[in-house]
Amino acid sequence: MNLSLPISADINYKVLKNVRVGVEWLALTAGYDLNEYTIPSSPSSYMQKATQEAGAYLQFDLWKEQLILKTKFLYTMSVFRLYDDSEKVDLAITGVFINDERPQLNYDFKKSMGFEISLAYRFHIKKDED
């Protein structure tokens, strides 16, 4: 179990020697300045991305548990919103915006389901024994 609430959570169980099943949660918010990508005569703006993903996965620990193959089925509730640069929010904590009265310049994308495959290599560092 690896919990960094409310931002992330990973709970898994080893069902076979090299196979794990688990569930994950991820909630991140980021802002992106779009001024260098817009037409000079258009108003300055920024994009806010609020990601909330829940997923179930099957993980295979291969080659002495150094090569990790993870297959994940996920439900994403990511929201990309465009705002004018002059619009601000009073307080935001992990996707919760207090007193948010900013007019949104675009429409929200719909929530979606997806499938993700990842491959990672894990380096094992040995301690020198004294």
| Structural domain spans, the chain | 2-121
Q: pLDDT value at position 44? A: 82
Distances (CA, A) of 23 to 3, 69, 75, 108: 11, 15, 11, 26
Per-residue pLDDT tens digits for 89-109: 888 776 677 888 888 888 877
Q: What are phi and psi of 126, to 5 degrees?
A: -90, 140
Q: pLDDT value at position 130? A: 59
3-class state of residue 78 by DSSP: coil
Q: pLDDT value at position 42? A: 64
* Greater pLDDT, 88 or 11: 11
Q: The pTM is what? A: 0.70
> Would you say 112 and 87 are in contact if contact means Cβ atoms under 8 Å apart?
no
> Would you say 120 and 68 are in contact if contact means Cβ atoms under 8 Å apart?
yes
Per-residue pLDDT tens digits for 16-75: 999 999 999 999 888 888 877 666 666 788 888 888 899 999 999 998 889 999 999 999
3-class state of residue 4 by DSSP: strand
Q: pLDDT value at position 12? A: 97
Q: pLDDT value at position 81? A: 86
Instruction: Determine what percent of the chain is predicted with pLDDT higher than 70.
Output: 92
